[in-house]
DNA sequence: TATTGTTATACTCTATAACTATA
DNA sequence: TATAGTTATAGAGTATAACAATA
C-alpha cells in the first residue's frame, strides 16, 4: 500500500537512498535529550525536579481541585506526585488545603513565591531554547514552532476529536 | 537577549499572559508520546522492540565493527543491547561474527531479510507519521521537518555545536 | 596489562495494591 | 459503599560491577 520511498533498480544507479527523511521519533528523541540536558542545570540550581517544574507550570495555567486531576493533566501517576507536592508545600511554593466542601479533596494553588520561581526558571529555560532556535532560518523557526505546537496538542488529555478514554493517539482522517 | 514576555506591575493592566509559547520540552514530550504510541503496534506486529528497531535502522546506515560502537551510536548501554542482538541474530535479521583480525570484536551487519523487515516497518511507521504531518499547512510542515532535522543533529554523538550540516553526516571515530 | 563482550548485581523509576480518612 | 489521598510493595528498565576470552 505504501510505495516505498527507497526505490531500487532504476537503471544503473542504485544509491539505495533508504528514506527521504528519518523517522520523526528518531529526530525527536535526540532533540528531547538536548532540551532536557539544557534544562537540568537550571532546575538543579533551583532545587526542582522535572516533575516539580511540571507541577508549577500546570498549576499556574489552571487552578486544580484534586491531586488526581493534576496528576492526569501532567500525565503522571497520582502516587508519583505526592512526594513532589510534599516538597513544594514545605518550601511554600504551593498551597495544599482540604476543600471545605469535601474534605477528602485537596485544593492546590501556587503561592506568590511559587509563581515567582516558576517565572524565573521558565525564563532561564526559554532563554536557552532561544539559543537553539537561533540556529534555524527565521522561516523554518516559525514553521517549526507552529508545527510543534499543533502536533503536541494532539496528545493532550482532551485532544481534538478523540475521546479521552481510549488513550491511543490515532488521528482520524 | 530575551526580555521576559510576562511582564507585570505596569499600571495594573496585563492579564499575566505567562509566556509567548510553552517550553519546547513541554511540547516535544507529548509529541514523542504520540509518535511512540503510533509506532508501537507496528513494531509489535513484527516482534520488534524499539531498541531492536533502532539497531536495524542504524545497522543499515552504517556497518558497525563493534557492539560498543553500535551501542554508543544509538545511545544505549552496551550491556543493554546484547539481548537485542541475540534475538535479532537468532531470527537471522542480523549477522554477528568475530572479526578475523581481532576476535574480541564482533562484526555486525544486516541480512537481506533484516533489510527487508526494516523497510517494511519503516514504511508503515512513516505512513502513519504522514497522517500526522498532513494536519499542518505545507509551509509549516516543511519548516517543521527542516527545523527538526537540524535541531536533532545537535544531539548526535559527534555534534559540533554550530554546524548547519545536512542531516546524516556521521563523523568517523 | 588492556580491550571486547558477557553475565550478575544493584539501583532508579514507575505502577499496583493495601490502608486511612472522609463522604 | 465509594472516593481522595497516602503508604507499602512489587515490577520493569537501566546502569554498575565482576567475569571470561582475546590481544
For residue A103, the distance in angstroms to the closest alpha carbon of chain B comes to 31
| CB-based contacts of A2-11 (< 8 A; 24+ apart in sequence) | A2/B123, A2/B124, A2/B126, A2/B127, A4/B119, A4/B123, A5/B123, A5/B126, A6/B119
CA of A76 to C1' of C16 (A): 14
What string of pLDDT tens digits covers the 173 residues of chain B?
A: 333 334 443 444 445 556 889 999 999 999 999 999 999 999 999 999 999 999 999 998 677 999 999 999 999 999 999 999 999 999 999 999 999 999 999 999 999 999 999 999 999 999 999 999 999 999 999 999 999 999 999 876 655 443 333 333 333 22
**DSSP 8-class letter at A156:** S
- Cβ of residue B102 near strand D, that is under 7 Å? yes
Q: What is the pTM of this model?
A: 0.84
Chain A partners within 8 Å of B145 (Cβ): 21
pLDDT at A14 exceeding the cut of 90: no
- Between A and B, how many residue pairs show a Cβ–Cβ distance under 8 A? 201
CA–C1' distance A85–D5 (Å)? 12
User: In this predicted structure, what is the pLDDT of residue A100?
Assistant: 95
Phi/psi at B4 (5° precision)? -60, 125
Answer yes or no: is B77 CB < 7 A from strand D: yes
- Chain B: closest CA distance from residue A18 (Å): 8
Contact criterion met (CB < 8 Å) for B24 and A122: no
Closest chain B CA to residue A6: B119
> For strand C, is any atom closer than 7 Å to the CB of B116?
no
- Residue A57 Cα, gap to closest chain B Cα (Å): 9
> Please, what is the end-to-end C-alpha distance for chain A in angstroms?
17
3-state SS, one letter per residue, for chain B? CCCCCCCCCCCCCCCCCCCCCCCHHHHHHHHHHHHHHHHHHHHHHCCCCHHHHHHHHHHHHCCECCHHHHHHHCCCCCCCCHHHHHHHHHCCCEEEEEECCEEEEEEEEECHHHHHHHHHHHHHHHHHHHHHHCCCCHHHHHHHHHHHHHHHHCCCCCCCCCCCCCCCCCCCC
| Three state DSSP letters for A47-100 | CCCHHHHHHHHHHHHCCECCHHHHHHHCCCCCCCCHHHHHHHHHCCCEEEEEEC
Long-range contacts of A72-75 (CB under 8 A, 24+ apart): A72/A157, A73/A157, A75/A157, A75/B33
Where residue A154 falls among pLDDT bands split at 50, 70, 90? confident
Q: Please name which of B119, B122, B101 lies closest in space to residue B110, comparing C-alpha atoms.
A: B119
pLDDT of residue A157: 61
For the CA atoms of chain B, what is the radius of gyration? Answer: 21
Per the CB < 8 Å rule, is B2 touching A126? yes
For nucleotide D8, give the residue with the nearest CA to its C1'. Answer: A79
Whether CB of A105 is under 7 Å from strand D: the answer is yes
Cell of B66: 563493534
For strand C, the positions having any atom within 7 A of a protein Cβ are 3-8, 14-17, 21-23
Chain A contacts of B162, Cβ < 8 Å?
Answer: 135
**Chain D positions under 7 Å from a protein CB?**
3-8, 14-17, 21-23
Measured CA angle at A49 (ends A43, A55), to 5 deg? 105
For the CA of A72 and the C1' of C8, the distance in angstroms is 38
Inform me whether the pLDDT recorded for A172 exceeds 60: no
pLDDT given at position A18: 65
pLDDT of residue A155: 78
Residue B41 backbone dihedrals phi, psi, to 5 degrees: -60, -35
A146/B37 Cβ within 8 A: no
Amino acid at each position: 500500500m505504501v510505495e516505498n520511498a527507497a526505490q531500487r533498480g532504476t537503471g544503473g544507479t542504485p544509491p539505495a537512498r533508504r528514506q527521504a527523511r528519518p523517522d520523526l521519533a528518531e529526530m525527536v528523541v535526540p532533540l528531547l535529550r538536548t532540551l532536557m540536558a539544557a534544562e537540568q542545570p537550571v532546575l538543579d540550581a533551583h532545587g526542582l525536579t522535572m516533575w516539580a517544574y511540571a507541577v508549577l507550570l500546570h498549576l499556574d495555567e489552571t487552578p486544580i481541585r484534586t491531586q488526581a486531576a493534576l496528576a492526569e493533566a501532567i500525565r503522571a501517576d497520582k502516587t508519583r506526585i505526592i512526594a513532589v507536592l510534599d516538597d513544594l508545600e514545605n518550601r511554600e511554593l504551593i498551597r495544599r488545603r482540604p476543600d471545605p466542601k469535601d474534605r477528602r479533596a485537596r485544593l492546590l494553588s501556587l503561592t506568590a513565591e511559587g509563581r515567582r520561581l516558576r517565572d524565573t526558571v521558565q525564563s532561564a529555560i526559554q532563554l536557552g531554547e532561544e539559543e537553539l532556535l537561533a540556529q534555524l532560518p527565521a522561516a523554518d523557526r516559525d514553521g517549526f514552532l507552529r508545527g510543534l505546537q499543533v502536533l503536541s496538542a494532539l496528545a493532550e488529555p482532551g485532544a481534538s476529536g478523540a475521546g479521552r478514554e481510549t488513550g491511543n493517539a490515532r488521528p482520524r482522517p
